[in-house]
Structure 1
Amino acid sequence: MLKLSAINAHIAGTPILRDVDLEIKPGALVGLIGRNGAGKTTLMRTIMGLLKPDSGSIIIEGRDMTALAPHFRAQAKVGYMPEDRQLVPTLTVEENILIPAWANKLPEAEARLAWVYELMPEVEAFADRKALQLSGGQQKLVALARAMMSGSRLLLLDEPFEGVAPALSRRLASVLHTLKTEGLSVLLSESDYSHSADLVDQVYTIERGAVSAPKIIRGDVA
């Protein structure tokens, strides 16, 4: 589903990612564990095409996406949930969720929205509220719902549990479990995998921009 080979990237002249190799098999939920500043967000942004790597390759479902613009990821059915949510505060919840569909002219937008609401009925319950009226945890759910609009094959979730109350963390974990059973591939970053220990199939550790060989947690994902 996703294969990174020898990815190097810098920001403002400072090397951040160093020869990163990473692979996600179809239907696997993979953890990316590292402290703040280790390079997790930079790696996510590089995969999404928001930051161009200095070298290396990004292959998504057999297609070389390294030099392609971010919108090609949506066409490849990849969704991204950034750490800081990046919702438009003056738009409603439903409008925020539909942004990827509008921007990329997704033909199945209505069906995807219905699927999102089926998985997360609590989000449908506040669909007409402005994003700025939501709690931080509720905004995380909306950001996940927005990522799911285009991410029907692969989801990249950057620190989805950070700053979320325990009850909402459990709800997020429940949704991710459902997505996993439906065959989506997921890359999920955390400072540790205390929230996702029961979900992940394997874990990569990132430190100072270098990623270690994966640790197999469960299943045959080799």
Structure 2
Amino acid sequence: MLKLSSINTNIAGTPILRDVNLAIEPGVLVGLIGRNGAGKTTLMRTVMGLLTPESGSITIGGQDMTDLAPHFRSQAKVGYMPEDRQLVPTLTVEENILIPAWANALSGAEARLAWVYELMPEVEAFAGRKALQLSGGQQKLVALARALMTGSHILLLDEPFEGVAPALSRRLASVLHTLKDEGLTVLLSESDYSHSADLVDQIYTIERGAVAAQEGAVK
């Protein structure tokens, strides 16, 4: 479903990702574990086309996406939840969720939104509120809901549990369990295993931009 081959990514001339190889099969939830500054966000942004690798290839659903613009990821049904959420504070929750559908002229947006609300009814409960009125944990739920508008095949979740209160962390984990049961492919980054240990099928570790598969991590 997702394959990175010999990816090298620089930022402002500084090498960040170093010869990264990573492969995720359909329906698998994979953890990308590494401390802050290890390169997790750079890897996610490279997959999403927000950063261009110096070398290597990115394949999504069998299609080479290496040199394609970011919006082609939405067409490939990839959803992305950035670490800092990146909600538009003055828009309502529902408007934030619908932004990917509007930007990409997605068909079936209303049906997809109804499915998202069924999955996370608490998000529907504050759908009319401005994003700036929400707590950090609530904003994480909204960012996940927005990612799900396009991410019907693959989800990339960058530090979804960071800065979230325990109750909302448990709720996020519950939603991810449901998505996993429905066969969604997920790449989830985290600084350690504190929240993802019971979720992931496979683990990759990242250190100083180098990625390695952890032996014995597949359940």
After TM superposition, the score normalised by the length of structure 2 is 0.99
Secondary structure of the residue that 1:128 maps to in structure 2? Answer: coil
Contact 2:77 2:154 in 1 (8 A): yes
Q: Please report how far the alpha carbon of residue 215 of structure 1 lies from its aligned counterpart in structure 2 after TM superposition.
A: 3.5
Tell me if structure 2 keeps the 8 A contact 1:25–1:185: yes
1:115 counterpart letter in structure 2: W
- Tell me which residue corresponds to 2:161: 161
1:140-185 superposed Cα distances (whole Å, 9 cap, x missing partner): 0000000000000000000000000000000000000000011100
Shift of 1:214: 3.6
Q: Deviation at 1:15?
A: 0.3
SS of structure 1 residue aligned to 2:106: coil
Q: CA deviation at 1:194?
A: 1.3
For the aligned residue pairs, the C-alpha RMSD in angstroms reads: 0.7
Q: Deviations over 1:7-57 (max 9, x none)?
A: 000000100000000011000000000000000000000000000000000
Partner letter of residue 67 of structure 2?
A
Structure 1 segments unaligned to the other structure (5+ residues): none
**Aligned-pair CA distance for 1:193:** 1.6
- Structure 1 segment 11-160 matched on structure 2, within 5 A: 11-160=11-160
**Structure 2: gaps (5+ residues):** none
Q: 1:217 Cα shift?
A: 2.9
Equivalent-residue separation in structure 2 for 1:78 and 1:200 (angstroms)? 19
- After superposition, the Cα gap between the structure-2 partners of 1:215 and 1:106, relative to the gap in structure 1 and judged at 3 Å, is farther
**1:212 aligned counterpart, secondary structure:** strand
Q: CA deviation at 1:216?
A: 4.0
- Residues 89 and 130 in structure 1, CA contact (< 8 A), matched pair in contact too: yes
Q: Give me the whole-angstrom Cα distance separating, in 2, the residues matched to 1:213 and 1:161.
A: 22
Matched residues in 2 for 1:85 and 1:215: separation? Answer: 32
Aligned-partner Cα distance in 1 for 2:214–2:108: 35
Alpha-carbon distance change, 215 to 141 in structure 1, aligned in 2, over 3 angstroms: farther
The aligned residue for residue 184 of structure 2 is 184
Could you tell me which amino acid in structure 2 is paired with residue 101 of structure 1?
Answer: A
CA distance in structure 2 between the aligned counterparts of 1:83 and 1:62, rounded to whole angstroms: 27
Separation in structure 2 between the aligned mates of residue 217 and residue 207 of structure 1, nearest angstrom: 17
1:193 corresponding residue in structure 2:
193
Residue pair 1:33, 1:192 contacting (<8 A) in 2 also: yes
Give the Cα–Cα distance (whole angstroms) in 1 for the partners of residues 114 and 215 of structure 2. 36
Q: What CA distance in whole angstroms lies between the structure 1 residues aligned with 2:100 and 2:24?
A: 23
Give a deviation string over 1:124-148, Cα, whole Å, max 9, x none: 0000000000000000000000000
Q: Is the 8 A contact 2:203 2:218 kept in 1?
A: no
Q: TM-score, normalised by structure 1?
A: 0.97
SS in 2 for 1:129: coil
Partners of 1:215 and 1:91 in 2: how far apart? 45
Cα offset for 1:95?
A: 0.1
Q: Which amino acid counterpart does residue 112 of structure 2 have in structure 1? A: R
3-state secondary structure, aligned to 2:3: strand
Q: Within 2, Cα distance between the matches of 1:215 and 1:120?
A: 34
Letter in structure 1 aligned against 2:205 = T
2:10, 2:54 within 8 Å by CA — same for their partners in 1?
yes
Letter paired with 1:164: V
